[in-house]
Structure 1
């Protein structure tokens, strides 16, 4: 889907497309971190960026959908986040940050995009990527059905160079209690999670 299609989807939604909380694995990994600076990539209607801001992070939410960003900015706490409309291929922060999060950004050049956003992580900072795994298709979980844009642990692991120490790169199964969509979904979903720390 391009930006225009996402704009239409957000405008047609009643209060937002996504669940109000970030994925459980994002909360698990980010909660122990000392809040400093963060970028939430493909922020959509803002759930992860708002959650980070509530916990003291100075957060930028990036998305190419102006309609999604408008929903995000209108939510309680929306004025605590810097919302930026831009494309992950072209936009870049003025300086590296301590946490870069990307949830469910699926593009044909996924490995190159992950390598690009990894450059935005400051030394000592954290990169956290979560997305639908290719095995999600057979599992019947919500998400894209094109295997060319889905993740695997090998794909995400291979996107990083030796500046990063990989803490975790694996498949995880989400239940309806950790639904991606507002209103939930019936089937378990299989995601790939990458948690890495930049060591130099």
Structure 2
């Protein structure tokens, strides 16, 4: 889907497309970290960026959908986040940040996109990427059905160079209790997770 299609989807939604909280695994990884600067890539209607801001992070929410960003900015706490409408292939932060989070960014060049956003992490900082795994198709979980844009742990691991230490890179199962959509979905889903720390 391009930006115009996402704009249409957000405008048709009743207050937002995505769940109000970030994925449980993102909360699990980020909660112990000291707050600092962060970028939420493909922020959509803002759930992860707002959650970070509530916890003291100076957060930028990046997305190419103006309608999604408008929903995000209108949510409680929306004025605490810097919302940026831009393409992940073109935008650059002013300086590296302590945390880069990407939830469900699916592109034809996903590995290259992950490699690019990884460069936004400062030495000592953290990268967290979660997205639909290719095995999610057979599992019947919600999400894209095109294997070309889906993740595997191997794809995520291969996106990083030796400046990163990989803490976790694996498939995880997300239950309906951790639904991606605002209205929920009944089936479990298979995701790929990458948690890495930049060491130099």
The interval holding the TM-score normalised by the smaller chain is over 0.9
State the TM-score, normalized to the length of structure 2. Answer: 1.00
Alpha-carbon distance in structure 1 between the residues aligned to 2:16 and 2:115:
29
1:91 — aligned with what?
A: 91
Encode CA deviations 1:107-131: one digit per residue, 9 max, x unaligned: 0101100110000000000000000
Structure 1: gaps of 5 or more residues = none
Mapped pair 1:103 → 2:95 = no
Encode CA deviations 1:166-193: one digit per residue, 9 max, x unaligned: 0000000011100000111011000000
Mapped pair 1:17 → 2:12 = no
Alpha-carbon distance in structure 2 between the residues aligned to 1:182 and 1:114:
25
Structure 2: gaps of 5 or more residues = none
1:26 — aligned with what?
A: 26
2:163 — aligned with what?
A: 163
Alpha-carbon distance in structure 2 between the residues aligned to 1:135 and 1:92:
32
User: SS where residue 26 of structure 2 aligns?
Assistant: helix
User: SS where residue 142 of structure 1 aligns?
Assistant: coil
Encode CA deviations 1:45-100: one digit per residue, 9 max, x unaligned: 00000000000000000000000000000000000000000000000101000000
1:123 — aligned with what?
A: 123
Mapped pair 1:176 → 2:176 = yes
Alpha-carbon distance in structure 2 between the residues aligned to 1:167 and 1:28:
13
Query: By how many angstroms is 1:22 displaced?
Result: 0.2
Map 1:10-89 to 2 at 5 A.
10-89=10-89
Runs (4+) of structure 1 moved beyond 2 Å?
none
Query: By how many angstroms is 1:11 displaced?
Result: 0.2
Alpha-carbon distance in structure 2 between the residues aligned to 1:168 and 1:3:
31
Alpha-carbon distance in structure 2 between the residues aligned to 1:122 and 1:33:
14
2:150 — aligned with what?
A: 150
Alpha-carbon distance in structure 2 between the residues aligned to 1:35 and 1:23:
18
CA RMSD in angstroms, aligned pairs only: 0.3
2:136 — aligned with what?
A: 136
